[in-house]
Amino acid sequence: MPLHMVKLVVGCDTIEDLVAWHAGRDVPWVMHTRQTPKRAAELLDGGSLYRVFKGMILCRQKILAVDTVGDGVTARCEVTVDPQIVRVAPTPRRAFQGWRYLDGKDVPPDLEGGEDGGIPPELARQLREAGAW
């Protein structure tokens, strides 16, 4: 079972904001962070980066590479992800700093083929919280 990573999105409120922010840039999708994961090999074995928007996991991107850049105190980690965004069932997630590992058993299911019925993510979140969906 692959290991995944979860990280808060800062500065974007929606998946569309994230896509628009990256549009027009001729560079790979890279998530920067301070700490290089010690379990990077497990992340590269089919793992994804799950993104949290305003307290909800809404999407994921397949992890393609995990690289350490720099040396010593200036060392940073770059996680390269697939530009294809896969929407997942909106799942609540409390705020945290940095990133966290996410075991395969804890990942939200993908929303394939419009499984969400085209419902806006905020409404889907409210329905889930109310136990109606």
CA distance 3 to 47: 5
Q: Where are the domains of the chain?
A: 3-129
Q: What is the pLDDT of residue 40?
A: 93
In this prediction, residue 117 has a pLDDT band, given cuts at 50, 70 and 90, of low
CA distance 130 to 133: 8
The predicted model scores a pTM of: 0.83
In this prediction, residue 78 has a pLDDT band, given cuts at 50, 70 and 90, of very high
Q: Is the pLDDT of residue 72 over 70?
A: yes
Place of tokens 């409404």: 123
Q: What is the pLDDT of residue 133?
A: 55
The tens digit of pLDDT for each residue in 86-112 reads: 999 888 898 888 899 999 888 999 987
Burial of 27 (0-12, 13-18, 19+ CB in 10 A): exposed
The tens digit of pLDDT for each residue in 28-67 reads: 899 999 888 999 999 999 999 999 998 889 999 999 999 9
